[in-house]
Amino acid sequence: MNGHAMKAAVRIQQEDFSQDEEISALRASSKRMGGIATFTGCARDFSEGRSVSRISFDAYGSMAEAEMNKLRAEAIARFTLLDARIVHRVGVVGAGEQIVFIAAGAEHRAPALQACHWLIDELKLRVPIWKKEITPEGESWVTSHP
């Protein structure tokens, strides 16, 4: 044991996450993994023509986690992944900080890359999480996702 309890493959949490830990956990699931693709979503400090100092996330936590688990299972089946992990933060995230992390591992690179792209697109469509941009001029909920 290295002192780290194994974290769940799908999580919603306030605290920041370690990409190294997530990728290590993914790699530990199989030695047949030849390709790992990852996506990291970060908080931009500029949006719609104004500066953004922080982003606040609200989530329908139980459903969001259930939908993320469904997405992971669907991606594993659809792209024949060996494993996948999804972590999304909620609460207040400062500009430049990490928001979401997706890692997809497969025997070869193509399905890993395709699954990673599919997962972030589907997450945006299906997972009940909402972001509010906090700017020096005030706060506003984001209602579109380009």
Partner 1 sequence: MIKVLFFGPVAERVGANTLQVEFRPGMRLHDLHQQMQGLYPAAFEIVCFTAVNGEHVRDVQLPVADNSEVVFMSKFSGG
Q: Please, which residue, 95 or 120, has the CB nearer to partner 1?
A: 120
Q: Please, which residue, 62 or 80, has the CB nearer to partner 1?
A: 62
Question: Cβ 130 to partner 1, closest distance in Å?
Answer: 3
In the chain, count H helices and then E strands. Answer: 3, 10
Alpha carbon distance 83, 12 (integer Å): 18
Q: Please, which residue, 82 or 133, has the CB nearer to partner 1?
A: 133
Question: Cβ 18 to partner 1, closest distance in Å?
Answer: 19
Question: Cβ 120 to partner 1, closest distance in Å?
Answer: 6
Taking each helix axis as running N to C, give the angle between helix 109-126 and helix 61-79, from 0 to 180 degrees, rounded to the nearest 10. Answer: 150
Q: Please, which residue, 23 or 120, has the CB nearer to partner 1?
A: 120
Contacts of 1 (CB under 8 A, 6+ apart): none
- Interacting residues toward partner 1 by CB under 8 A: 41, 57-60, 62-64, 66, 88, 99-100, 120, 123-132, 141-145
Q: Let me know the angle formed at the C-alpha of 82 by 77 and 4, rounded to the nearest 5 degrees.
A: 125
Question: Cβ 75 to partner 1, closest distance in Å?
Answer: 15
Q: From the CB of residue 13, how many other CB atoms can be counted at a distance below 10 Å?
A: 13
Question: Cβ 15 to partner 1, closest distance in Å?
Answer: 17
Q: Please, which residue, 46 or 130, has the CB nearer to partner 1?
A: 130
Torsion 103-18-22-143 (CA) sign: negative
